[in-house]
């Protein structure tokens, strides 16, 4: 961004005035929702496009590891549940692309950014799912962590993003519940089943704790995002909520949290030990994990679906009066 | 609003259609989001797949974005010309946004007016509902709707209700109830009882519970 107004903070872009910003922030502080036709700072628009499109891509890429398990589901019941969950993720991606489009970016541009790896998505989907129990653990922990973040975003200041989030949260609770049910049943099952659940917890606990983002001290965008009512809580606050809910429930299921330092403090909060961020950053940078494979799978879907889009276009362009069937 | 730029040889950015969903015959149609589609049938099928996976609907309308005129109170001040937008005369549906409460919908359709064009319809909507937080109008002739025949309604919308495993209630209480864990001291209260915006506490909205 070019710094044309040296005396103003950098979130005030060229052509914007502190008075406009003050009026905008007053609306947000009064609990008003910002709608697409309203005045908004250029930086607010830019940050929202970044966040919402990343979020949409995460829903779309989130389908890929789960989709691989549909044909391997152990029962028809679990297969129908998993299919419904994957369908939901596709729908959630669509809700979010719609919300981002209201800010002046096209769906085509966003998908292009995903496929050329210019846009990010949650790196949690680049971790491998090793056994069927991982499918349940992903539902319980990854969706559980995502719901904490999404519940916060449902209260955000941008109307279309907030509405998409309210709709997503109401559907996502099913994803969380089905995963929790599956793991609790495995944990009560045969020794082999219990071990499967424990192994899945060992694989997913730390990635789930990390997916809520770096510590507040290392999160560069938090200041602006909280000033504008986009993030109502910090990464560490959301992480604490996630841990507080899940630690007692995992313990009750008879599982062991892979964190020897986990303990309850005098306020009742469950406190985690030091987080080793090495793997998190390595997966984000693509040095580890399945980032290349995920985008290749998404690109293949795009390429293999080209004939469907072309057929639809030919159908749309057919001469008027030609029978549809 | 920025228009899509057709930059690619096979641009699949088909027109955008705003989707209006009616949950039951007693409920208003509500604006719930949009889909891209090449023709009316494609728009309605896509709208059902995206927005009616659960729990209930009896009818969907789809309206091309180009046929919809909207304004917020701020826009009426900054661009009053919007009330002069001309177009076909006829019956226009009127939608209004009623509150800042947490919601899944942008506007509810609250009625229809005879107007000389979209700008006139928007002006009438503004006069009838001066306190609304946004107004939306479109000509009745522009909407496409799902078939109201009961058999079609059944085949389009019943599966979303019948697939109960998509509802969290289906799973009941797993393990001990959270309340029991709280009473035993294992489950702490909420970490952040008072969300903030910057240094200011966030205003307590009268938010609808997430259903």
User: Which residue in A has a C-alpha nearest to residue B11's C-alpha?
Assistant: A108
Q: Tokens standing for A185?
A: 């049943």
* Residue of A84, A174, A313 with shortest CB distance to B168: A174
CB contact under 8 A, B191 and A106: no
d(CA A129, CA B149): 45
At B24 the pLDDT is 93
At A322 the pLDDT is 59
User: Which residue in B has a C-alpha nearest to residue A230's C-alpha?
Assistant: B197
Backbone φ and ψ for B172, nearest 5 degrees, come out as 55, -155
At A182 the pLDDT is 95
At A321 the pLDDT is 63
Res B182 pLDDT > 90: no
Contact B176, A248 (CB under 8 A): no
pLDDT tens sequence across A271-305: 999 999 999 999 999 999 999 999 999 999 999 99
User: What band does A72 get if pLDDT is binned at 50, 70 and 90?
Assistant: very high
Residues 225-244 of A with CB under 8 A from B: 226-229, 232-233, 237, 240-241, 244
At A219 the pLDDT is 74
CB contact under 8 A, B4 and A162: no
Q: How far does CA B57 lie from the centroid of its chain?
A: 13
**B126 touching chain A per CB within 8 A:** no
d(CA A177, CA A169): 12
Give the Å distances, CA to CA, from A303 to A63, A84, A300.
17, 24, 5
* Residue of A37, A252, A268 with shortest CB distance to B188: A268
Pick among B5, B62, B137, B171 to test the A interface (most A CBs inside 10 A): B171
Q: What is the mean pLDDT of chain A?
A: 92
**B183 touching chain A per CB within 8 A:** no
Residues 1-60 of B with CB under 8 A from A: 1-2, 4-5, 7-8, 10-14, 16, 32-36, 38-39, 41-42, 49-51, 53-54
User: What band does B2 get if pLDDT is binned at 50, 70 and 90?
Assistant: very low
At B189 the pLDDT is 64
At B206 the pLDDT is 42
Q: Cβ contacts of residue A109 below 8 Å, gap of 6+? A: none
User: What band does B176 get if pLDDT is binned at 50, 70 and 90?
Assistant: confident
At B9 the pLDDT is 45
Res B6 pLDDT > 60: no
At A1 the pLDDT is 47
Burial B149-162 (b: 16+ CB within 10 A, else e): eeeeeeebbeebee
Q: What is the mean pLDDT of chain B?
A: 85
CB contact under 8 A, A248 and B70: no
Contact A308, A314 (CB under 8 A): no
Q: Tokens standing for B93?
A: 């549906």
Using an 8 Å CB-CB cutoff, list chain B residues near A154.
102, 210
At A223 the pLDDT is 80
At A221 the pLDDT is 66
CB contact under 8 A, A253 and B175: yes
User: What band does B8 get if pLDDT is binned at 50, 70 and 90?
Assistant: very low
At which residue do the structure tokens 């539902």 appear?
Answer: A139
At A31 the pLDDT is 93
Among the listed residues A16, A5, A90, A19, the one whose alpha carbon sits nearest the alpha carbon of residue A56 = A90
**B99 touching chain A per CB within 8 A:** no
CB contact under 8 A, A316 and B8: no
Nearest CA to CA, how far is A4 from chain B (Å)?
A: 25
User: What band does A255 get if pLDDT is binned at 50, 70 and 90?
Assistant: very high
Here the ipTM equals: 0.91
Instruction: Work out the average pLDDT over A204-211.
Output: 97
Q: Cβ contacts of residue A21 below 8 Å, gap of 6+? A: A11, A12, A41
At which residue do the structure tokens 């949290």 appear?
Answer: A257
CB contact under 8 A, B187 and A248: yes
Beta bridge partners of B21: B30, B60
d(CA A213, CA A222): 11
Q: Cβ contacts of residue B198 below 8 Å, gap of 6+? A: A25, A223, A226, A227
**A163 touching chain B per CB within 8 A:** yes
CB contact under 8 A, A91 and B50: yes
CB atoms within 10 A of CB A207: 20
* Residue of A106, A166, A267 with shortest CB distance to B4: A106
Domains of chain A: 1-26 (no CATH), 33-238 (1.20.1260.10)
d(CA A104, CA A91): 21
Contact A201, A189 (CB under 8 A): no
Among the listed residues A145, A148, A143, A153, the one whose alpha carbon sits nearest the alpha carbon of residue A47 = A153
At which residue do the structure tokens 């029978």 appear?
Answer: A323
CA A105, A111, A116, A120 torsion: positive or negative? positive
CB contact under 8 A, B165 and A80: yes
> Judging by beta carbons within 10 Å of its beta carbon (0-12, 13-18, 19+), is residue A233 exposed, middle or buried?
buried
Res A126 pLDDT > 60: yes
Using an 8 Å CB-CB cutoff, list chain A residues near B207.
155
**A159 touching chain B per CB within 8 A:** yes
d(CA B112, CA B80): 22
Res B211 pLDDT > 60: no
Using an 8 Å CB-CB cutoff, list chain A residues near B178.
245
User: What band does B201 get if pLDDT is binned at 50, 70 and 90?
Assistant: low
Res B178 pLDDT > 80: no
At B190 the pLDDT is 59
Res B210 pLDDT > 80: no
Among the listed residues A62, A181, A174, the one whose alpha carbon sits nearest the alpha carbon of residue A133 = A181
- The percentage of chain B sitting over the pLDDT mark of 90, rounded to a whole number, equals 64
User: For chain A, what is the HEC assignment?
Assistant: CCCCCCCCCCCCCCCCCHHHHHHHHHHHHCCCCECCCCCCCHHHHHHHHHHHHHHHHHHHHHHHHHHCCHHHCCCHHHHHHHHHHHHHHHHHHHHHHHHHHCCCCCHHHHHHHHHCCCCCCCHHHHCCCCCHHHHHHHHHHHHHHHHHHHHHHCCCCEHHHHHHHHHHHHHHHHHHHHHHHHHHHHHCCCHHHHHHHHHHHHHHHHHHHHCCCCCHHHCCCHHHHHHCCCCCCCHHHHHHHHHHHHHHHHHHCCCCCCCCCCEECCCCCEECCCCCCHHHHHHHCCCCCCHHHHHHHHHHHHHHCHHHHHHHHHHHCCCCCCCCC
Nearest CA to CA, how far is B186 from chain A (Å)?
A: 6
Instruction: Work out the average pLDDT over A94-120.
Output: 95
User: For chain B, what is the HEC assignment?
Assistant: CCCCCCCCCCCCCCCEEEEEEECCCCCCCEEEEEEECCCHHHHHHHHHHHHCCCCCCCEEEEEEHHHCEEECHHHHHHCHHHHHCCCCCEEEEEEEECCCCCCCCCCEEEEEEEECCHHHHHHHHHHHCCCCCEEEEEEHHHCEECCCCHHHHHHHHHHHHHCHHHCHHHHCCCCCCHHHHHHCCCCCCCCCCCCEECCEECCCCCCCCCC
Judged by phi (left if over 0) then psi (alpha if -120 to 50, else beta), residue B172 lies in left
Res A237 pLDDT > 60: yes
Res A12 pLDDT > 60: yes
Q: Cβ contacts of residue B154 below 8 Å, gap of 6+? A: none
Res B41 pLDDT > 60: yes
At B184 the pLDDT is 78
């Amino acid at each position: 961004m070019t710094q044309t107004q040296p005396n103003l903070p950098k979130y005030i872009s060229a052509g914007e005035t502190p008075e406009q910003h003050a009026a905008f922030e007053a609306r947000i502080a009064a609990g008003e929702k910002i709608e697409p036709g309203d005045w908004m700072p250029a930086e607010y628009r830019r940050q929202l496009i970044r966040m919402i499109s990343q979020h949409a891509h995460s829903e779309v890429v989130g389908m890929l590891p789960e989709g691989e398990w549909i044909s391997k589901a152990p029962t028809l019941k679990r297969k129908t549940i998993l299919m419904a969950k994957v369908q939901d993720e596709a729908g959630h991606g669509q809700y979010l692309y719609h919300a981002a489009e209201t800010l002046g970016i096209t769906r085509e541009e966003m998908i292009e950014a995903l496929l050329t790896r210019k846009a990010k998505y949650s790196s949690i989907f680049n971790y491998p799912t090793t056994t069927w129990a991982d499918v349940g653990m992903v539902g319980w922990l990854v969706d559980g962590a995502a719901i904490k973040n999404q519940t916060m975003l449902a209260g955000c200041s941008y109307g279309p993003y907030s509405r998409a989030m309210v709709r997503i949260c109401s559907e996502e609770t099913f994803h969380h519940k089905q995963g929790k049910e599956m793991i609790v049943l495995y944990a009560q099952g045969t020794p082999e089943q219990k071990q499967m659940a424990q192994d899945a917890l060992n694989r997913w606990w730390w990635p789930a704790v990390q997916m809520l983002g770096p510590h507040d001290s290392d999160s560069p965008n938090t200041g602006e995002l909280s000033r504008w009512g986009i993030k109502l809580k910090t990464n560490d606050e959301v992480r604490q909520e996630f841990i507080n809910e899940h630690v007692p429930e995992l313990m009750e299921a008879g599982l062991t949290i892979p964190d020897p330092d986990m303990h309850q403090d005098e306020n009742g909060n469950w406190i985690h030990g030091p987080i080793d961020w090495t793997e998190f950053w390595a997966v984000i940078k693509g040095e580890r994990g399945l980032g290349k494979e995920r985008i290749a799978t998404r690109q293949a879907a795009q390429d293999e679906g080209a004939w469907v889009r072309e057929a639809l276009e030919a159908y749309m362009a057919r001469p008027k009066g030609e029978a549809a069937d | 609003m920025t228009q899509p730029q057709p930059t690619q040889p096979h641009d699949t950015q088909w027109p955008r259609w705003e989707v209006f969903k009616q949950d039951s015959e007693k409920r208003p149609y509500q604006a719930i989001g949009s889909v891209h589609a090449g023709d009316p049938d494609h728009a309605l099928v896509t709208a059902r797949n995206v927005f009616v996976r659960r729990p209930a609907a009896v009818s969907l309308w789809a309206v091309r974005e180009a046929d919809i005129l909207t304004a917020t109170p701020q826009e009426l001040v900054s661009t009053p010309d919007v009330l002069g937008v001309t177009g076909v005369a006829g019956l226009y549906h009127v939608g209004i946004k009623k509150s800042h409460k947490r919601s899944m919908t942008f506007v509810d359709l609250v009625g229809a007016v005879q107007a000389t064009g979209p700008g006139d319809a928007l002006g009438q909507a503004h006069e009838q509902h001066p306190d609304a937080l946004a107004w939306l109008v479109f000509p009745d002739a522009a909407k496409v709707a799902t078939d109201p025949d009961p058999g079609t309604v059944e085949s389009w919308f019943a599966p979303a209700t019948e697939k109960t495993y998509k509802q969290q209630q289906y799973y009941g209480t797993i393990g001990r109830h959270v309340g029991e864990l709280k009473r035993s001291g294992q489950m702490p209260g909420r970490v952040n009882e008072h969300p903030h915006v910057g240094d200011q506490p966030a205003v307590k909205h009268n938010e609808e519970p997430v259903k």
